Chains A and B, each alone.
Chain A
């Protein structure tokens, strides 16, 4: 069943040398429960597509339909609600809030819900346990390694039980052992029913995903399995 439907999405923006065409007529359907890899060289437009898929960056033309919702037809605050309900992000540089502990970072998406402090704490701790960082929940981001920060970012992305996880080069700055552990974690989450879209330029990561698409110069093509 198609969870995400990208219809004729194009994105252009003003650059120093005039208009830059980042994406051209992208059409893509992603099914519920898929683990999709979005591949391509640097500057190909894969991160731009991921940001559009995640409701962070509106396309110049085209539509994004997620779970039957025309995402960019939503008003700004409703779009924020949509991200909160449907989407979890794992950013390339983890993007943890530096003055909050691992536990507090994971609790962030719950802070704007009606859940009590105890409920938030219990949920965040459970997810941290799940990613293997239960014992380091009170550490600040700068007291954690890169791999650990990545796990905290994943815990923050899944704590609110979204339908979709968007990950931008999650293994980009990790050593191979840590990268493998992370991909195993993603695979486990995917097996739990989460739909995961991961930007990567590393072909070795393809063995972990169910499907991959390739983007070059803003044009999408399928990669046969």
Chain B
């Protein structure tokens, strides 16, 4: 019989206490991992939802002209009439998988003369545009060939409604929809599809290409090299806003994890201290038989190491498994099981270290007791 055998027999035959201690470790490790997994997933969701709407990179032709405002954001280099991007630019973007593009929205931007005023003409691909800008709400229907929709300000100022016609460059176009107020430059614009926009403005290339990508900073740098004829700009306000929100959530998750970890350590300490105090008599017997303090400490460390190791392994497995079950119920989101060997190793090591450290003080106190004090009968 070895000291390890004694440790194993204690764990094997004191099933209740062993299970309780093991359960404590599983609970602490499992909950910490589970919350971290859920927080990480929520963080990714938050990042995605904050970045998936609206353009975060804009490609415009290189120009020495002044900056125009579009969509409430500064877009340098857009001039109504000068310089445009080749159609080939879009092909280059579509063929590049490294860009991690969520959406591409090219536009033809030009002007046309009405009876009295000049109008801003936006030729867009509505399906792409509506995905990128879900806040666009259109009363009526999307324009087909030779049809237009108009912004809410324009409709109000010129008293236009669906069914009226709008004269552009001396040709009338039926208004089939009115875009609800966005608070942006769209409110005064005339929208149509590419073919009609080309027809009205005479522009046969892209004026601006808006992108939504997961990594706007990297994409901007990459696209600047890929498209030397274009100016590629990151819309910093949107990216910084998203980054700040995600960073705040990330800090909150870290603080929550640390607090949970501390509570867990306290629970483990209280449990192990109680467990060792219950064994004072047993420690006295072993001391009376001739076991050295280090022998007893060694047995106690082996026991807690076995339990905390098993608790760490099971806790980690449960911690990564439970979110895959809970996430669809609580967040209406499916999560895949992700095993990270480095995290697993760190968590299991931490579990063992916490376990061993938590018994050191009560164990030292117990083994330093006079054997006759530890034994009630002698």
A interface vs B, CB < 8 Å? 47, 50-51, 54, 56-58, 76-77, 80-85, 87, 89, 91-93, 95-100, 104, 107-112, 117, 120, 140, 156, 160, 168
22 A–B contact pairs at CB < 8 A? A56-B287, A56-B371, A57-B370, A57-B371, A77-B292, A77-B294, A80-B293, A84-B289, A89-B378, A91-B285, A95-B288, A95-B377, A97-B282, A97-B285, A98-B13, A99-B12, A108-B1, A109-B290, A111-B2, A112-B290, A156-B289, A160-B290
Contact of B339 with A by CB under 8 A: no
Least Cβ–Cβ distance between A79 and chain B, in angstroms = 9
A112/B291 in contact, CB under 8 A: yes
Closest A residue, CB atoms, query B373? A57
Least Cβ–Cβ distance between A172 and chain B, in angstroms = 10
A112 to B371, CA, bound (A): 18
A84/B378 in contact, CB under 8 A: no
Please give, as numbers and ranges, the residues of chain A lying within 8 Å of B293 by CB-CB distance: 76-77, 80
A51/B289 in contact, CB under 8 A: no
Contact of B3 with A by CB under 8 A: yes
A59 to B2, CA, bound (A): 33
Apart from A89-B378, A100-B6, A110-B1: 18 A-B pairs, beta carbons within 8 A? A47-B377, A57-B371, A80-B291, A83-B288, A84-B289, A91-B288, A91-B378, A93-B377, A95-B284, A95-B377, A99-B10, A104-B9, A108-B6, A108-B286, A109-B290, A111-B5, A112-B292, A168-B378
A140 to B12, CA, bound (A): 13
Least Cβ–Cβ distance between B19 and chain A, in angstroms = 14
Please give, as numbers and ranges, the residues of chain B lying within 8 Å of A99 by CB-CB distance: 9-10, 12-14
A89 to B291, CA, bound (A): 13
Q: Digit string of B13-37 for contact with A (CB within 8 Å is 1, else 0)?
A: 1100000000000000000000000
Contact of B310 with A by CB under 8 A: no
A132 to B377, CA, bound (A): 25
Contact of B295 with A by CB under 8 A: yes
Q: Assuming A56-B288, A108-B286, is B294 touching A92 (CB within 8 A)?
A: no
Please give, as numbers and ranges, the residues of chain B lying within 8 Å of A87 by CB-CB distance: 290
A51 to B378, CA, bound (A): 6
Closest B residue, CB atoms, query A101? B9
Contact of B165 with A by CB under 8 A: no
Least Cβ–Cβ distance between A88 and chain B, in angstroms = 8
A31 to B50, CA, bound (A): 90
B289/A109 in contact, CB under 8 A: yes
Least Cβ–Cβ distance between B255 and chain A, in angstroms = 42
Least Cβ–Cβ distance between A120 and chain B, in angstroms = 6
A80/B377 in contact, CB under 8 A: no
A150 to B290, CA, bound (A): 19
B interface vs A, CB < 8 Å? 1-3, 5-6, 9-10, 12-14, 281-282, 284-295, 370-372, 375-378
A140 to B292, CA, bound (A): 25
Please give, as numbers and ranges, the residues of chain A lying within 8 Å of B289 by CB-CB distance: 83-84, 89, 108-109, 156
A80/B292 in contact, CB under 8 A: yes
Instruction: Say which residue of B1, B281, B291 sits within 8 Å of A95 (CB atoms).
Output: B281
Most chain A Cβ neighbours within 10 Å, of B3, B12, B286, B372: B372
Please give, as numbers and ranges, the residues of chain A lying within 8 Å of B10 by CB-CB distance: 99
B2/A92 in contact, CB under 8 A: no
Please give, as numbers and ranges, the residues of chain B lying within 8 Å of A91 by CB-CB distance: 285, 288, 375, 377-378
Least Cβ–Cβ distance between A77 and chain B, in angstroms = 5
A50/B3 in contact, CB under 8 A: no
A214 to B372, CA, bound (A): 22
A223 to B190, CA, bound (A): 123
Closest A residue, CB atoms, query B13? A99
B1/A80 in contact, CB under 8 A: no
Most chain A Cβ neighbours within 10 Å, of B1, B287, B371, B372: B1
B290/A92 in contact, CB under 8 A: no
Closest A residue, CB atoms, query B279? A97
Closest A residue, CB atoms, query B376? A93
Least Cβ–Cβ distance between A117 and chain B, in angstroms = 6
Instruction: Say which residue of A81, A83, A92 sits within 8 Å of B377 (CB atoms).
Output: A92
Closest A residue, CB atoms, query B4? A111
A58 to B281, CA, bound (A): 19
Least Cβ–Cβ distance between A72 and chain B, in angstroms = 12
Least Cβ–Cβ distance between B364 and chain A, in angstroms = 13
A81 to B3, CA, bound (A): 16
Please give, as numbers and ranges, the residues of chain A lying within 8 Å of B282 by CB-CB distance: 97
Please give, as numbers and ranges, the residues of chain B lying within 8 Å of A80 by CB-CB distance: 287, 290-293
A107/B13 in contact, CB under 8 A: no
A99 to B12, CA, bound (A): 8
A147 to B263, CA, bound (A): 48
Most chain B Cβ neighbours within 10 Å, of A76, A95, A120: A95
Most chain B Cβ neighbours within 10 Å, of A87, A104, A111, A156: A111
B372/A56 in contact, CB under 8 A: yes
Please give, as numbers and ranges, the residues of chain A lying within 8 Å of B295 by CB-CB distance: 112
A81 to B292, CA, bound (A): 7
Please give, as numbers and ranges, the residues of chain B lying within 8 Å of A58 by CB-CB distance: 370
Closest A residue, CB atoms, query B371? A56
B378/A56 in contact, CB under 8 A: yes
A95/B6 in contact, CB under 8 A: no
B1/A111 in contact, CB under 8 A: yes
Least Cβ–Cβ distance between A100 and chain B, in angstroms = 6
Closest B residue, CB atoms, query A81? B290
A43 to B264, CA, bound (A): 46
Q: Assuming A95-B377, A156-B289, is B9 touching A111 (CB within 8 A)?
A: no
Instruction: Say which residue of A84, A89, A104 sits within 8 Å of B1 (CB atoms).
Output: A104
